[in-house]
């Protein structure tokens, strides 16, 4: 590689090395940070390039008073959304692999360095940056190169961005994402994958059935556990009176937590068994020697055994305790408490 035009400078180096970062960032106002592992790879590699490397870059930005970083995030941070969902930027992360997870870290680090150190960031969740779309999925995810260039120019020129997340996508008719937050950058995409739709839809779709269902496409099927091989799930998720979900998680780790749970549950224990009320499901669960009784408002008469609840007392491991096999205390009160905690 050689510089394309005068004034352009070309350097090489691993961004995990401080010396390389210092060389890169000396006198820089805006960094467009694209380097890193850009596909799904084993976790250690992703950690090194996308977590350790990115941290080195942001620390370098502090040392060199870099004003702004454009961070190449990815649609794979939200790849587990279905293709029928239309997302705004306020959607939760749903990464489709370690690579997508690393982009969550990237957006998180960008947020933190703005809040704590005043380094601005634009996290651009790039769809598919390509000369032209080549497969069906790209009709929704395409980021045309003219638009990409326009986007980057706006990121450089915008007077103030603070911390900003944006979709890196063209004005595709079939886009999965709402083009919010582009206005404050002054980015107005001009390309639309629809002009290639007829041609692309006439070709075979390279994605398998799973890849067609999720926004992350082919990344979803990498190291994916199909539903039939997943741990058995229970529909039984009682809410213990007096404890929020967070409290439960917190108390789960402490002996006092269990004691507290016992004391709360004892208070609501009816004669001959123990009980919880689940307000959301309007369902009472009675535990007693007879098994489980579903006292649902909708089907009062339905009496369900553990089996029909799909509930198997699980093996529970506490971080501070020795392994406790709940099945040894199947009908006991504590097994139910433990189960409720482990299912959260
Ligand atoms: N191309 C897309 O459609 C797309 C989509 C979503 C996100 N992105 C993101 O945009 C960025 C650029 O994508 P790309 O397709 O050009 O990727 P790419 O793989 O072609 O380029 C990434 C470059 O980063 C370099 N790199 C990796 N680790 C490094 C390290 N520790 N130090 C220095 N360099 C390192 C690699 O050698 C490679 O040259 C990536 O961060 C990627 O995650 C791209």
Which domains occur in the chain, in start order? 18-228 (3.40.50.720), 245-342 (no CATH)
Q: What pLDDT, on the 0 to 100 scale, is given for residue 144?
A: 97
Q: What pLDDT, on the 0 to 100 scale, is given for residue 342?
A: 47
Q: Can you state the percent helix, strand and coil of the chain, rounding each to 5?
A: 35, 15, 45
Please, which residues have CB within 8 angstroms of residue 328's CB and are 6 or more apart in sequence? Answer: none
Please, which residues have CB within 8 angstroms of residue 203's CB and are 6 or more apart in sequence? Answer: 135
Among 42-56, 77-91, 171-185, 260-274, whose mean pLDDT is lowest?
260-274
Q: What pLDDT, on the 0 to 100 scale, is given for residue 114?
A: 98
What is the tens place of the pLDDT at every residue in 112-152?
A: 999 999 999 999 999 999 999 999 999 999 999 999 999 99
d(CA 39, ligand 1 centre) in Å = 8
Dihedral sign (CA 231, 234, 238, 239): positive
What is the tens place of the pLDDT at every residue in 4-36?
A: 888 888 999 999 999 999 999 999 999 999 999
The secondary element (H helix, E strand) that includes residue 166 is: strand 163-168
The structure tokens listed for 225 are: 């556990």
Which sequence positions are flagged as catalytic?
A: 99
What is the tens place of the pLDDT at every residue in 216-249?
A: 999 999 999 999 999 876 554 555 556 655 555 4
Q: Looking at the CA of residue 15, tell me the nearest atom of ligand 1.
A: 32
Q: Residue with the nearest Cα to atom 31 of ligand 1?
A: 49
Q: Would you tell me the crossing angle of helices 245-252 and 333-342 to the nearest 10 degrees?
A: 110
Q: Residue with the nearest Cα to atom 1 of ligand 1?
A: 129
Integer angstrom CA distances of residue 292 from 80, 267, 310: 35, 19, 11
Would you say 335 and 324 are in contact if contact means Cβ atoms under 8 Å apart? no
Strand pairing report for 324-325 and 291-294:
unpaired
Q: What pLDDT, on the 0 to 100 scale, is given for residue 299?
A: 37
């Amino acid at each position: 590689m050689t510089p394309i035009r005068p004034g352009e400078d070309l350097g090489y180096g691993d961004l995990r090395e401080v010396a390389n970062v210092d060389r890169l960032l000396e006198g820089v106002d805006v960094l467009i940070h694209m380097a890193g592992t850009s596909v799904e790879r084993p976790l250690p590699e992703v950690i090194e390039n996308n977590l350790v490397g990115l941290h080195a870059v942001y620390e370098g930005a502090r040392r060199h008073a870099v004003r702004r970083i454009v961070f190449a995030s990815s649609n794979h941070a939200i790849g587990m959304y279905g293709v029928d969902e239309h997302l705004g930027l306020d959607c939760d992360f749903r990464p489709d692999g370690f690579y997508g997870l690393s982009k969550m870290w990237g957006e998180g680090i960008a947020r933190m360095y703005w809040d704590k150190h005043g380094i601005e960031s634009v996290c651009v969740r790039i769809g598919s940056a390509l000369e032209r779309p080549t497969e069906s999925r790209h009709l929704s995810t395409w980021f045309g190169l003219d638009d990409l260039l326009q986007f980057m120019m706006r990121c450089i020129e915008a007077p103030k961005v603070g911390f900003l997340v944006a979709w890196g996508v063209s004005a595709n008719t079939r886009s999965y994402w709402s083009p919010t937050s582009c206005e404050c950058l002054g980015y107005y995409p001009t390309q639309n994958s629809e002009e290639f739709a007829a041609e692309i839809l006439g070709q075979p779709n390279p994605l398998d059935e799973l890849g067609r269902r999720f926004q992350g496409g082919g990344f979803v099927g990498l190291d994916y556990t199909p539903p039939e091989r997943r741990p058995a799930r229970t529909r039984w998720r009682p809410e213990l009176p007096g404890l929020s979900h967070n409290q439960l998680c917190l108390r789960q780790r402490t002996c006092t937590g269990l004691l507290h749970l016992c004391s709360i549950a004892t208070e609501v224990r009816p004669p001959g068994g123990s009980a919880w009320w689940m307000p959301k499901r309007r369902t009472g669960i009675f535990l007693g020697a007879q098994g489980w009784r579903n006292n649902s408002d909708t089907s009062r008469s339905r009496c369900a055994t553990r089996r029909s609840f799909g509930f198997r007392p699980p093996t529970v491991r506490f971080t501070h305790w020795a392994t406790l096999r709940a099945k040894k205390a199947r009908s006991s009160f504590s097994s139910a408490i433990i189960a409720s905690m482990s299912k959260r």
